[in-house]
Amino acid sequence: MISAPDVVAFTKEEEYEEEPYNEPALPEEYSVPLFPFANQGANPWSKLSGAKFSRDFILISEFSEQVGPQPLLTIPNDTKVFGTFDLNYFSLRIMSVDYQASFVGHPPGSAYPKLNFVEDSKVVLGDSKEGAFAYVHHLTLYDLEARGFVRPFCMAYISADQHKIMQQFQELSAEFSRASECLKTGNRKAFAGELEKKLKDLDYTRTVLHTETEIQKKANDKGFYSSQAIEKANELASVEKSIIEHQDLLKQIHSYPHRKLKGCDLCPGEMEHIQDQASQASTTSNPDESADTDLYTCRPAYTPKLIKAKSTKCFDKKLKTLEELCDTEYFTQTLTQLSHIEHMFRGDLCYLLTSQIDRALLKQQHITNFLFEDFVEVDDRMVEKQESIPSKPSQDRLPSRSLEECPIPKVLISVGSYKSSVESVLIKMEQELGDEEYKEVEVTELSSFDPQENLDYLDMDMKGSISSGESIEVLGTEKSTSVLSKSDSQASLTVPLSPQVVRSKAVSHRTISEDSIEVLSTCPSEALIPDDFKASYPSAINEEESYPDGNEGAIHFQASISPPELGEMEEGSMENTPSQIDSCCIGKESDGQLLLPSSPAHTHSDEDGVVSSPPQRHRQKDQGFRVDFSMENASPSSRDDSCEGFPAYELDPSHLLASRDISKTSLDNYSDTTSYVSSVASTSSDRIPSAYPASPSSDRHKKRAGQNALKFIRQYPFAHPAIYSLLSGRTLVVLGEDEAIVRKLVTALAIFVPSYGCYAKPVKHWASSPLHIMDFQKWKLIGLQRVASPAGAGTLHALSRYSRYTSILDLDNKTLRCPLYRGTLVPRLADHRTQIKRGSTYYLHVQSMLTQLCSKAFLYTFCHHLHLPTHDKETEELLASRQASFLKLTLGLVNEDVRVVQYLAELLKLHYMQESPGTSHPMLRFDYVPSFLYKI
Amino acid sequence: MLRWLIGGGREPQGLAEKSPLQTIGEEQTQNPYTELLVLKAHHDIVRFLVQLDDYRFASAGDDGIVVVWNAQTGEKLLELNGHTQKITAIITFPSLESCEEKNQLILTASADRTVTVWDSDTGRQVQRISCFQSTVKCLTVLQRLDVWLSGGNDLCVWNRKLDLLCKTSHLSDTGISALVEIPKNCVVAAVGKELIIFRLVAPTEGSLEWDILEIKHLLDHQDNILSLINVNDLSFVTGSHIGELIIWDALDWTMQAYERNFWDPAPQLDTQQEIKLCQKSNDISIHHFTCDEENVFAAVGRGLYVYNLQMKRVIACQKTAHDSSVLHIAKLPNRQLISCSEDGSVRIWELREKQQLAAEPVPTGFFNMWGFGRVNKQASQPVKKQQENTTSCSLELIGDLIGHSSSVEMFLYFEDHGLVTCSADHLIILWKNGERESGLRSLRLFQKLEENGDLYLAV
């Protein structure tokens, strides 16, 4: 963990020190006026002040053909989260920037309806009035009953922090792509099933019609056809056509995987093979299909229905819910993924960035980071997965920001300079846009730039924005291009482009059906004048003009608005929105829900049957997850486990929230959760090396541990030798009668214990039987029960017998028996006069110190000349003296500090050489050194 | 130790004062074993360790299984299952140079009255003999004749192919407790109180049959013979339950030396003590011998004695080397002696020459330190006696290894890999020189780096 701990801690919302703030209140006249947004629970550093929602959330919306844009569900599904934020309005906004919807249907020159496998579009959208910025991910799902067979949906990550969205764009994009992929896969499966069913219906209808016609033919042998017969024949013909159409659609949907991979059309011969594959894939991926998920797949038991000649009006029928569209299993999986996303991007941007840098740096030290980092491997795998799996196409265009691209100094800048970071990200994106072969294409495009074409594209843009009635603006494009042209090193584009061109490039790119990325923002000035939305949209010049306002302008503006004004504006837009929807949609009954911004998700779930709450079983599973956490946890399956583990941390106060209410409740819950954790730990500690599953999200645990460690250091003057024992691999036995106290201290001290491998730390939180030599080989920190009765004598006897292997901290008598420590390392690590007050800060301090220590150990371990004789005649003594002088002079280690580095070096060697790490416990190393008894 | 845990004192020195046992503090600068590895595979007392080659050893015990280990890494190589009862003897049968089958064999005898032959490389059970009337208690290999002998209630001779060549008549119900080879195709068997010399008659042109003949009975021991080893080509030594040590000529089977009260460097030590010692005969029973060119080292009761072959007397002793009976001792090349005991500890001793003892009187405190302070008031007396006898050497404790929680049955010393101990607590512990291991690990690390091609990547 490498970071600037204090900066992070400063910006991170968390509980204060143990002692509550008890100063007497100031007299009224002396009190300083509070921060204006304080009643909303904001702190002055929070950028969320203007937002109506308390923290980031994910919104799924649909552009319903019946009722227009409507919010479906939010994650987390908690009305507290989005508060008074108008979901309906925002759905309208985010759906209005979709470009894909108009794309499906009968393309000219094609006999059959053609399914377009459009890539999702990813857009950043800002609404300064609402104080909301969103990453919007549009996707289309297929529905046989829908207009043009498509249902446009979007998932939006909504945050009050614009920079967060911009900076995390790639990560968001990758994560949401996964979710979208999941939805679409389920949808394709369901759609295919639906098609097959429909085909059966049609087939049946055809036979029925056929027989009817035959009967009629026979019935009147006059030689001419009655009008009835002609009608029947027409009907038959239309059914035939319909069959062909549907067959074609089925082919198309089955051909999806192949087309996606190869990007070319299929020859019919391959078709069946692919179909088989597809069906196989669907069955294998879903072996335990329950009856209701089977709804769309064709079953032999299915009895075809007769299809009426006249199809029902689209308004009469009830549209399928998202869950129905996507197959329940995939749907729940998506929800899990989304809540994972929500959790992943929780907290302040600064915090996210720091932890990202952290992770990137940790990955570099893959040789040493097993020593003190928690489950880095798991983390890594998760990150790698995120980087590699989400839709390959995005990878060659949007490379994840690895460390090389984002050098530390550039990101480790103060909070004030994030702006430049945003720009640098943009540069990256644009650069990648014009990368490689596309570069050439683009140049030709530029030269043969057709204004008409451009207009077309613009028009296409506008189609999406009709309903919103507000102009959409390309945010930061000009800036980015200008920066781009200035920076020589990255000058892949030599022609300075106008924003228009850049945008057209993006649009044209999308038409060749690849990923499109556009960074859009709503012009704030126009957002306030929604009166004539029809007049406001179409001109590109308008956009250009509005550019100078920029996003900064939006922020300033927003700050100057007083809340009542905002409310008015809101109402105004509210009035406009429904009426506008009213005009083009039939669904009258849904107007009511649109006017109920307080609990839209709830109403939706009632009326539309959308499952808006994630399945509860995850919550229950969570306990199992904790208990079953074992050595094998680093296996790939743990990815899912950790996802399921998230709900337990929902009340995690570590993420930066403006809402005081929420942080208060989380504080209250906090103590409970810890006790819960510890009680679970007590049941599991016997089987598990470390009772605490240090899952990536155990920030709270870290903080707790840090705080208790800090307390220990302040309370006990002999903390240094105790910590030295832990660092040098001498088992520390914490002896005490009270299990809770012992456990607490053991958990706290565990942060100093180096791990053997990438698994749990060698810490046993509570033991009540006499210790054995095996225990010292296995555990480096043991909480031991002191039994007053004669039965406890055996425990003490064993302890005294093996005293040379242990340091013994007696909590009841406040004594410590352990070897002398005279180094300088631990005093720095554990200074009892430290100014650090917060647990998490101290934890980070410890981590950074230990990282420093690890790098010393690394140097010592991998210095060639220290361990191998430079020539044949060199004696071992000479080698030893060289090692000693290296440790002392080069690494600056004093006295016993040498032992610490030597111990870590041994662990490094073992870890490096182990083929399959973690299979065996390393040997017990010890020294024959006298122990001393320390008392308070 | 307990005192500070319970009440809190400073340094636990009380133990040393109460007990005559020589103790060494936590600071053991000469003790090289700073690393240990616990090996767990057995489910019962581990009684036997036998070295297979430079890096492997086998362990066997009361659970009837034999486990082959890598002494370097502590890796369990093989587990040999077959015996249904505890193993009573184990021996390796080295492959003959001429023989095509290079595989080393392991012979194990068990209380289930079988002897099983194992291939030490594959763990395969080569053959199993179950025609015994009684439990085989000892095994010995006569490599010169390429035969092996099994000793139970009778003595059988077998060849490599496990054909029974010949056997003696029923000797005794107690059975043969020890068996060694002596020159002239003879073997000595300890049967109860007596020693029996057998001569093996190999097939010659005259007779094609093997035969084994009883040559002589030696009846000089007063009590059961517990230990029997070869000293050199010319002599062997036996020890009995009541502390008789007899050195025999291996050629004419005559007594070369007899040490009845050898444990006592001062023969005229007051009778009171002698009686006391005799009452607790366990205290003077000779459990194990080891020897080098000059000395025979005997584990007598709880003590260690060094008997010089040339001077024919005890030159150094440590009456209470352990808290409990010493079960096994071994002499290391560097004048060190290692002993293990029922008290669960292993101790490392060094045989040191005493300089100029006769010159000036030594303060009693000095001898207290050496462990003679059992009877404090008499301390001065033995000092004088000792000076008269000029006990020229001393055994000095240089380290102890504490790890087992129960009696340490046996140990095995590897020149390169350290010490292996086995115990009644079902464990085997590998004790290693930490510094050397650290160096070796570094070497391996750089080897691996080189193999991976990482070493010169930066250059």
Inter-chain residue contact A810 with B5, CB threshold 8 Å: yes
- What digits encode the pLDDT tens for the residues A556-574? 333 333 444 444 444 444 4
pLDDT the model gives residue A596: 37
CA distance A556 to A536: 23
A566 versus A216: which is more confidently predicted? A216
Which among B2, B402, B405 is the nearest to A804, CB-wise?
Answer: B402
Q: Within 13 Å, how many C-alpha atoms sit on residue B64's CB side?
A: 13
Q: Does B346 touch chain A (CB under 8 A)?
A: no
| DSSP symbol at A107 | -
> What residues in B contact A790, CB-CB < 8 Å?
none
Inter-chain residue contact B2 with A909, CB threshold 8 Å: no
CA distance A451 to A288: 55
In 3-state terms, what secondary structure has residue A876? helix
Angle (CA) B437 B440 B446, round 5°:
145
Residue A322 pLDDT > 50:
yes
Which band of pLDDT confidence, cut at 50, 70 and 90, is reported for residue A108?
low
Residue B155 pLDDT > 60:
yes
Residue B311 pLDDT > 60:
yes
Which among B2, B35, B40 is the nearest to A925, CB-wise?
Answer: B35
> What residues in A contact B446, CB-CB < 8 Å?
864, 867-868
A371 touches A861 (CB < 8 A): no
Domain ranges of chain B: 41-263+281-355+390-452
Q: Does A785 touch chain B (CB under 8 A)?
A: no
B58 touches B89 (CB < 8 A): no
In three-state form (DSSP H/G/I as H, E/B as E, the rest C), the secondary structure along A456-479 is: HHHHHHHHHHCCCCCCEEECCHHH
Helix residue ranges per DSSP H, A487-586: 499-511, 524-527, 533-536, 540-546, 550-560, 563-584
Mean pLDDT of all residues in A772-796? 85
CA distance B235 to B310: 12
pLDDT the model gives residue A225: 66
User: In chain A, what percentage of residues exceed pLDDT 90?
Assistant: 7
Q: Does B408 touch chain A (CB under 8 A)?
A: no
Q: Which of A733, A866, A928, A935 to mutate: most B Cβ within 10 Å?
A: A928
Inter-chain residue contact A909 with B441, CB threshold 8 Å: yes
> What residues in A contact B74, CB-CB < 8 Å?
923
Distance from CA of B408 to the nearest CA of A (A): 14
- What digits encode the pLDDT tens for the residues B29-62? 888 899 999 999 999 999 999 999 888 999 999 9
Residue of B nearest to A862 (CA): B446
Helix residue ranges per DSSP H, A255-348: 256-262, 268-285, 322-326, 328-344
Which among A913, A929, A931 is the nearest to B448, CB-wise?
Answer: A913
pLDDT the model gives residue B455: 65
B95 versus B224: which is more confidently predicted? B224
Q: Point out the least confidently predicted range of A644-648, B270-274, B439-443, B449-453.
A: A644-648
Mean pLDDT of all residues in B362-387? 43
Which among A774, A868, A927 is the nearest to B34, CB-wise?
Answer: A927
- What digits encode the pLDDT tens for the residues A860-869? 998 888 888 7
Q: Where do we find the tokens 């056997």?
A: B167
Q: Where do we find the tokens 């598990």?
A: A688
Inter-chain residue contact A867 with B443, CB threshold 8 Å: yes
In 3-state terms, what secondary structure has residue A892? coil
CA distance A806 to A35: 55
Mean pLDDT of all residues in A263-283? 40
A932 versus A518: which is more confidently predicted? A932
* Dihedral sign of CA atoms A20, A352, A157, A189 in order: negative
In three-state form (DSSP H/G/I as H, E/B as E, the rest C), the secondary structure along chain B is: CHHHHHCCCCCCCHHHHHCCCCCCCCCCCCCCEEEEEEEECCCCCEEEEEECCCCEEEEEECCCCEEEEECCCCCEEEEECCCCCCEEEEEEECCCCCCCCCCCEEEEEECCCEEEEEECCCCCEEEEECCCCCCCCEEEEECCCCEEEEECCCEEEEECCCCEEEECCCCCCCCEEEEEEECCCEEEEEECCEEEEEEEECCCCCCCCCEEEEEEEECCCCCCEEEEEECCCCEEEEEECCCCEEEEECCCCCEEEEECCCCCCCCCCCHHHHHHHHHCHHHCCEEEEEECCCEEEEEECCEEEEEECCCCEEEEEECCCCCCCEEEEEECCCCEEEEEECCCEEEEEEEEECCCCCCCCCCHHHHHHHCCCCCHHHCHHHHHHHHHHCCCEEEEEEEEEECCCCCEEEEEEECCCEEEEEECCCEEEEEEEHHHHHHHHHHHHHHHHHHHCCCCCCC
> What residues in B contact A771, CB-CB < 8 Å?
none
Mean pLDDT over each residue of chain A, to the nearest integer: 64
Mean pLDDT of all residues in A408-421? 36
Length of chain B: 459
Inter-chain residue contact B10 with A926, CB threshold 8 Å: no
Q: Which of A909, A929, A932 to mutate: most B Cβ within 10 Å?
A: A909
Residues 763-782 of A with CB under 8 A from B: 772-774, 777
- What digits encode the pLDDT tens for the residues A660-672? 333 333 333 333 3
Residue of A nearest to B403 (CA): A773
pLDDT the model gives residue B421: 94
pLDDT the model gives residue A464: 37
Q: Point out the least confidently predicted range of A173-182, A619-628, B408-417.
A: A619-628
Q: Residue A108 burial by CB count (10 A; 0-12/13-18/19+): exposed, middle or buried?
A: exposed
Distance from CA of B18 to the nearest CA of A (A): 17
Containing A126, the helix (H) or strand (E) segment is strand A121-127
Closest by alpha carbon to A169, among A519, A490, A524?
Answer: A519
Which among B36, B404, B444 is the nearest to A913, CB-wise?
Answer: B444
A850 versus A65: which is more confidently predicted? A850
The set of residues, in sequence order, having a beta carbon less than 8 Å from that of A612 and lying 6+ positions away, is A72, A73, A74, A77, A601, A602, A604, A605
Mean pLDDT of all residues in A128-156? 84
CA distance A843 to A839: 6
Inter-chain residue contact A933 with B402, CB threshold 8 Å: no
How would DSSP label each residue in A407-427?
-HHHHS--GGGHHHHHHHHHH
Superfamily of the domain at B41-263+281-355+390-452: YVTN repeat-like/Quinoprotein amine dehydrogenase (2.130.10.10)
| DSSP symbol at A603 | H
Inter-chain residue contact A928 with B26, CB threshold 8 Å: yes
Amino acid at B59: S
Q: Within 13 Å, how many C-alpha atoms sit on residue B216's CB side?
A: 12
Closest by alpha carbon to A859, among A828, A905, A910?
Answer: A905
Q: Does A244 touch chain B (CB under 8 A)?
A: no
Inter-chain residue contact A931 with B35, CB threshold 8 Å: no
Which band of pLDDT confidence, cut at 50, 70 and 90, is reported for residue A39?
low
B176 touches B151 (CB < 8 A): yes
B52 touches B68 (CB < 8 A): yes
* Dihedral sign of CA atoms B77, B81, B83, B85 in order: positive
pLDDT the model gives residue A542: 37
Residue A851 pLDDT > 60:
yes
Amino acid at A753: V
CA distance A143 to B148: 87
Terminal-residue alpha carbon distance, chain A: 33
Which band of pLDDT confidence, cut at 50, 70 and 90, is reported for residue B410?
very high
* Parallel, antiparallel or unpaired: strands B393-402 and B345-353: antiparallel
B341 versus A416: which is more confidently predicted? B341
> What residues in B contact A879, CB-CB < 8 Å?
439
pLDDT the model gives residue A612: 39
What's the longest Cα–Cα distance across chain B? 82
Q: Does A802 touch chain B (CB under 8 A)?
A: yes
Q: Residue A588 burial by CB count (10 A; 0-12/13-18/19+): exposed, middle or buried?
A: exposed
CA distance A112 to A114: 6
- What digits encode the pLDDT tens for the residues A431-459? 343 344 444 444 444 444 444 444 444 34
CA distance A634 to A375: 8
Query: Measuring CA to CA, how many Å separate A226 from each of A215, A247, A310, A876, B376?
Result: 13, 31, 20, 113, 137
pLDDT the model gives residue B172: 80
Q: Point out the least confidently predicted range of A221-225, A745-749, A875-879.
A: A221-225
CA distance B370 to A615: 76
* Parallel, antiparallel or unpaired: strands B326-331 and B336-341: antiparallel
Q: Does B70 touch chain A (CB under 8 A)?
A: no
Inter-chain residue contact A808 with B5, CB threshold 8 Å: yes
Most confident of the following: A266-270, A292-296, B189-193: B189-193
Residue B183 pLDDT > 90:
no
pLDDT the model gives residue B426: 92
Length of chain A: 936
Residue A477 pLDDT > 60:
no
CA distance A11 to B361: 78
| DSSP symbol at A554 | H
Residue A330 pLDDT > 80:
yes
CA distance B210 to B200: 7
The set of residues, in sequence order, having a beta carbon less than 8 Å from that of B238 and lying 6+ positions away, is B190, B195, B221, B225, B227, B228, B244, B245, B246, B248
A179 versus A275: which is more confidently predicted? A179
Which band of pLDDT confidence, cut at 50, 70 and 90, is reported for residue A25?
low
Inter-chain residue contact A923 with B36, CB threshold 8 Å: yes
B1 versus A750: which is more confidently predicted? A750
Residue B87 pLDDT > 90:
yes
Inter-chain residue contact B4 with A815, CB threshold 8 Å: yes
pLDDT the model gives residue B391: 58
Distance from CA of A724 to the nearest CA of B (A): 18
Q: Where do we find the tokens 């416990």?
A: A921
Query: Measuring CA to CA, how many Å separate B258 from each of A163, A292, B244, B245?
Result: 97, 95, 7, 6
pLDDT the model gives residue A640: 38
ipTM over 0.85: no
Residues pairing with B191 in the sheet: B176, B194
Residue A332 pLDDT > 60:
yes
Closest by alpha carbon to A204, among A310, A309, A301, A305?
Answer: A305
| DSSP symbol at A53 | S
Inter-chain residue contact A867 with B442, CB threshold 8 Å: yes
pLDDT the model gives residue B96: 67
CA distance A504 to A455: 9
Q: Which of B442, B444, B452 to mutate: most A Cβ within 10 Å?
A: B442
pLDDT the model gives residue A682: 37
Inter-chain residue contact B34 with A800, CB threshold 8 Å: no
Q: Does A906 touch chain B (CB under 8 A)?
A: yes
Q: Which of B445, B447, B450, B451 to mutate: most A Cβ within 10 Å?
A: B445
How many CB atoms neighbour CB A876 within 10 A? Answer: 11
Which among B4, B430, B438 is the nearest to A933, CB-wise?
Answer: B4
A220 touches A226 (CB < 8 A): yes
Amino acid at A481: T
pLDDT the model gives residue A478: 35
